[in-house]
Amino acid sequence: MLTYPSASFGGYVDSAYRSGDLVVQPRMGFSAPETMRRGLIEVRRSGVPTVGTITLDSYTRTGDYQALRRALDDGVSLNGFPIVTYPHEVTASVLEGVWSSEFPVQVRHGCPLPEDIFAAISDLGLDASEGGPVSYCLPYSRVPLEDSIEAWARACERFAATSGRGVLPHVESFGGCMLGQLCPPSLLLALTVLEGIFFRAHGLTSVSLSYAQQTHPEQDLEALTALRRLGQEFLSDIDWHTVVYAYMGVYPFERLAAEALLRDAAELAVRGGARRLLVKTPAEAHRIPTIAENVRSLRLAAAAAAEVGNAGTSGIRRETGIYEEAGALIEAVLELGEDPGTALGRAFERGLLDVPYCLHPDNPGRARSYVDETGRLRWASVGAMPIGQVADTREITGSDLLASLYYVQRKYDRRASHEACVKPEGIEPGEI
C-alpha cells in the first residue's frame, strides 16, 4: 500500500524558498521500474534541495498504447516511464519509501490529450504534474487546439477533485517554454499566465508559472520580474510560484560551456525570485543523460544558486516594456470570453496570440523573431497581436534564423574554448 506524503508539492517548494533555497529539479525518466526507482533514490540522496521527476515516454504522450505494449513485450528501452500502461502496483513500488513530504515527485509528460495520464496520477494519489492546453498542443502535435483545450479542462477538473482526499494538486504551466527558444519573453509570460488562469477556472488552486532561459541575461531578468508582477495581479487568490528552465534550445557541445550555461540559469533563477529550476546536463547535446549526470547537474546548479544568494543580487539595468507587452496580450485574450479556454481558442483564431515559427495548423504563423546584435530576442513581425508598436519591421532570412537558433550554443562554446586556453594549472575541465 502506497504511503501518501502529508505535505504538498507546492508547500514543499514554498518552504524551501522561505529557507533561502532554490529547488533544483531534473527532467528524468526511465522505462524500467527498477531504474526509475534508483534514479529517484539517487536524486533524493544528492544532498541539495530537490524534487523527484518521473518523465513519461513518447508513446504515452501520443496515446499510442498498442505500440507501447509491443515495445514493452519486446524489451525495448523507452525514453520515459509508461505510467498509464504499467499496473498501479508497479508505479507504487517505484515510489514507496522514496516519495515523501521531504521529497515530492512530479510527473512530466508532453501530452495534448492528457486525460489517461491524469487519471493514472489521480488514482495513485500523486499531486503534481505540468503542461497546458496550448503549451502541450502547439509545439508537439497536430491535435486541434480546441480538442486539447477540452481535454485539458476535463483532466484538470478530475485532478482538482483529488483535493477532497487530502491532496493539494499542483500543475505547472509549460507556457513559458514554447518551442524552447526564439519566442520573445512577453508572449511566454502571457501564455503561462493565461494557462494559470485556465487551471484556476477548472478547480486548481496550486500552480506554477514557467519561463525558459533565453539569449540575454538582463532581458531574462526583466521577464522574470514582470512574470512575478503579473502572477500577483492575475492569480493572487491561489497559491503560485515561478519556475525557470535552463536553456532549451541548441545546447553547447563543450562540457565547460554547458556547465557555464547552467550556472547562468541558476543565477537567473535566484536574481529573478524563482523558486524552482529545471536543470539540463551537458550530455543532452548528444544523448539522454545518465542518473549520475543528472545528479551532477543538480549539485552544480545548487552550488551556483548558493553563490548568488551569498553574494546578493542586483536589479534590472533597464526596462524594455516586457511587462506592458505581456499585460496587453493577456487582457486582449481575456476580453474574448468569460471562459479562459474559449478565450484562448478565439485568440489564436483571430491572431491575437501567434507563436513564431510554430507550424501547428491552429497557429496563425505570421509572427517572427530574431536575436539582435546585443543578444536580445526581438520581434521582427507580430502579425495581428496587439503589440505592433514595439516590433521591429524586418525580413528574416534563412541565415538570420540559423544564426538565432545557434546563438547561445556558439556564444558559450567559444567562451569555453577561450577559457580553456588560459586555464590555470591544476584546474580540470568541469570541476565544481
User: How far apart are the C-alpha atoms of 244 and 383, rounded to whole Å?
Assistant: 28
pLDDT in tens, 98-148: 999 999 999 999 999 999 999 999 999 999 999 999 999 998 899 999 999
Confidence of residue 424 (pLDDT cuts 50, 70, 90): very low
Contacts of 105 (CB under 8 A, 6+ apart): 40, 51, 52, 53, 54, 95, 98, 99, 126, 128
Domain boundaries, the chain: 9-311
- The half-sphere exposure of 233 on its side-chain side, counting CA atoms within 13 A, is 16
Q: Which amino acid is at 165?
A: R
Contacts of 53 (CB under 8 A, 6+ apart): 25, 26, 27, 28, 29, 43, 105, 106, 107, 108
pLDDT value of residue 284 = 75
Rounded to the nearest 10 degrees, how much is the dihedral formed by the CA atoms of 244, 246, 250, 252?
160
Does residue 255 or residue 329 have the better pLDDT?
A: 329
pLDDT in tens, 211-233: 999 999 999 999 999 999 999 99
Confidence of residue 431 (pLDDT cuts 50, 70, 90): very low
Task: For residue 415, count CB atoms less than 10 angstroms from its CB and return exposed for 0-12, middle for 13-18, buried for 19 or more.
Answer: middle
User: How far apart are the C-alpha atoms of 210 and 242, rounded to whole Å?
Assistant: 6
Alpha helices in 5-113 (DSSP H): 9-18, 33-44, 58-62, 65-73, 88-95
**429 pLDDT higher than 60:** no
Write out the E strands in 84-169: 105-108, 128-131
- The half-sphere exposure of 382 on its side-chain side, counting CA atoms within 13 A, is 19
pLDDT in tens, 33-54: 999 999 999 999 999 999 999 9
Q: What is the mean pLDDT of the chain?
A: 92
**80 pLDDT higher than 60:** yes
Confidence of residue 392 (pLDDT cuts 50, 70, 90): low
Which architecture, in CATH terms, is 9-311?
A: Alpha-Beta Barrel (3.20)
User: How far apart are the C-alpha atoms of 122 and 301, rounded to whole Å?
Assistant: 31
Contacts of 93 (CB under 8 A, 6+ apart): 33, 37
